Structure 1
Amino acid sequence: MITVSWFGYAPGREGLLTPVIFLPVFGVAVMLERWFPFEPAWNGRWKDNRQDAAFFLLAQPVIAIAEAAAMALGVSAATWLSSAFGILYWPAGWPVSVQVILAMLAHDLLPYWYHRISHETGGWLWRVHAIHHAPSRMYSLNFVRFHPVNSFLSSFLMLLPMVALGVPACVIFLIAMISKVHSLLSHTNFGFRLGPLNWVFSMAELHRWHHTRDMRQANANYGATLIFWDILFGTRNLPEADIRKSELGINEPQSVPSRFCDQICMRISH
């Protein structure tokens, strides 16, 4: 996936290359969670997929608008920083692997705080975000289940610092593909383990605890891709207990309407 993203990238080709890379990964993930489920009870219930598809379709124009806004503001910020201080802030001559690590840290920082604030301060931001946490199971399509406000803010905050710092477009595209695949796999009901890499990535073993109904456990593991900011700010959580012994979802499931239109409209006006 990384190889195809890097060597297949060309300006203007993102719209074609993204599904070529992502769809096969998605298909494999769906098959693996059927064949080797982490929790068999989380499979099935295909009726949820209609809502998931609706969230996915609604998110695409919202994300496009968010990314356009982040690009515009980020380019302005980069231009101002360059003219004000006379230097470029991004080490474009460094090895790509180092650039990817640095860009991923920048990509995750603002969404980490937005995500954490949504959980820990409650109120309107939590009501919007609770739509993502409402399902009582983890499954592949769970990763697209976001209110458009949530989709807009997350996408905007992921892209803005990378553009402002002058990260090359090819590196930004690579980060975007890594992030999309990671988001999918962190929700997939596939029983794989990362071992020591749980200190690097915010993958399924950590993210399942983020979806537990027990908010003492769920208010943790906020990282979008890396777990670095959780480690730094003390919010990484990986208990020894088996997550299957805990209920997933939210404490007040009735607070999230069952109908798609009500979820979109009522969360703002509540």
Structure 2
Amino acid sequence: MMPNALRAIVRYAYIPFMILGLNGAAYYSVSHGHSYLWLPALLAVAFATAFAAERILPVHEEWNHGHGDDQANIWHTIVYESTSATGILMIPLVAWVLNITPGTLIGLWPREWPVWAQLAIALVVTDFTFTMVHYFSHRYSWLWRLHAVHHGVSRLYGFNGLVRHPLHQALDMAVGSAPMALAGMPVHVAALLGFVISIQLIVQHSNVDAALGPFRNHVSIGKVHHLHHVNWGKEGDVNFGLFSTLWDRLLGTFAPEPPRPIRANDLGIDEVPEFPTAYSAHLAFPRLYRPGTETPYAPLQHRTAGSPSPSSRT
């Protein structure tokens, strides 16, 4: 049993340290011209903090134990962060190409504004675009098949936020970030934006019973996002926001409280209860998954003829 004082520290300090402390450190480093290598170092601190906090004050103790998914989640994290870094490093090349191409968007970005103001614009745009991609990924089968890799997780903890099929991540970047890069967003702002998104995804999926106080229904963290991951059919098709609940409120998809307590085994995709755990299987999953059919996932074709067909999440 952890001392009550330590649990209280985690409950009230975890979110401020992750959101304000680490993002603030990243902002200071980048805005003062320090090496971008500080960002992966701060990201490592974020993961270490999340894992420690999850053991001190977990939402569900069961989510702290491996479900055969550790290796796949590490690969997802490596691929996610490597792809994001590559996209950021490509911005100077994109800017050079567009600068020699008439009629491009380069020059629309307010580069003369303070870094904090540019980052604020980027965050507002990203919150909207990522939320809409997420929303439509639950509405169209071809998008859901890609996004389902993220929803196949059977627990929530720090690594799960970065579990993405690479093609769905590419879509997020193309819709959410590429337009700003084409408008002239500088590399240092893009690097900060990528870091803030990574921190948000870690916090959003953390197995930490942290206090949110008056912000609990305004940020996409904690039970608000836990409800999004339940395998209760359509009841989980809510709370699509990346940072805020603003767009969910406008879409009519905001749900502040689950209709019943969320148990440790209430996550995943209802029609694929035996979701694969290997990274290679995650890459192949969209090709093999047929949502809403009698046999939605090809490797599960061993069901007997009399077995009931599970309901569809989509």
Sort the TM-score into its range (normalised by shorter chain).
0.7 to 0.9
Gap change, CA 1:102 and 1:59, over 3 Å in 2: closer
Partners in 1 of 2:258 and 2:288 — Cα distance?
40
Amino acid at match of 1:195: G
What is the DSSP-based 3-state SS (H/G/I as helix, E as strand, rest coil) of the residue aligned with 1:244?
Answer: coil
Counterpart of 1:233? Answer: 251
1:189: Cα distance to partner?
0.3
What is the DSSP-based 3-state SS (H/G/I as helix, E as strand, rest coil) of the residue aligned with 1:247?
Answer: coil
Picking from 59, 74, 89, the partner of 1:38 is: 59
1:78: Cα distance to partner?
8.5
TM-score, length of structure 1 as denominator length: 0.82
Amino acid at match of 2:148: A
Gap change, CA 1:117 and 1:70, over 3 Å in 2: farther
Gap change, CA 1:189 and 1:150, over 3 Å in 2: same
CA contact (8 A) 1:74 1:161 kept: no
Going by fraction, where is helix more abundant, 1 or 2? Answer: 1
Structure 2: runs of 5+ lacking an equivalent: 1-21, 290-314
Picking from 101, 104, 118, the partner of 2:120 is: 101
1:25: Cα distance to partner?
1.6
Counterpart of 2:213? Answer: 195
Structure 1: runs of 5+ lacking an equivalent: none
Partners in 2 of 1:249 and 1:112 — Cα distance?
20
- The structure whose Rg is larger is 2
RMSD, aligned α-carbons: 3.1
Picking from 89, 104, 108, the partner of 2:108 is: 89
Map 1:213-232 to 2 at 5 A: 213-232=231-250
Gap change, CA 1:252 and 1:140, over 3 Å in 2: same
Instruction: Confirm whether residue 114 of structure 1 aligns to residue 133 of structure 2.
Output: yes
Amino acid at match of 2:125: A
Partners in 2 of 1:18 and 1:105 — Cα distance?
21
Deviations 1:107-163 (A, max 9, x none): 232222221111122x23212211211122211111122211122222333321322
Map 1:68-79 to 2 at 5 A: none
Amino acid at match of 1:135: V
Instruction: Confirm whether residue 164 of structure 1 aligns to residue 159 of structure 2.
Output: no
CA contact (8 A) 2:224 2:256 kept: yes
Map 1:17-32 to 2 at 5 A: 17-32=38-53
CA contact (8 A) 2:69 2:277 kept: no
CA contact (8 A) 2:88 2:190 kept: no
Counterpart of 2:158? Answer: 140
CA contact (8 A) 1:55 1:146 kept: yes
Matched residue pairs, number?
A: 266
Picking from 257, 265, 272, the partner of 1:253 is: 272
Gap change, CA 1:262 and 1:93, over 3 Å in 2: closer
Amino acid at match of 2:271: E
Identical residues among aligned pairs (%): 24
Partners in 2 of 1:219 and 1:89 — Cα distance?
36
Map 1:172-211 to 2 at 5 A: 172-211=190-229
> Which 10-residue stretch deviates more, 228-237 or 32-41?
228-237
TM-score, length of structure 2 as denominator length: 0.72
CA contact (8 A) 1:200 1:227 kept: yes
Instruction: Confirm whether residue 265 of structure 1 aligns to residue 284 of structure 2.
Output: yes
Amino acid at match of 2:54: E
Deviations 1:50-79 (A, max 9, x none): 111122233345445555677766776788
What is the DSSP-based 3-state SS (H/G/I as helix, E as strand, rest coil) of the residue aligned with 2:216?
Answer: helix
CA contact (8 A) 1:75 1:164 kept: no
Amino acid at match of 2:35: R
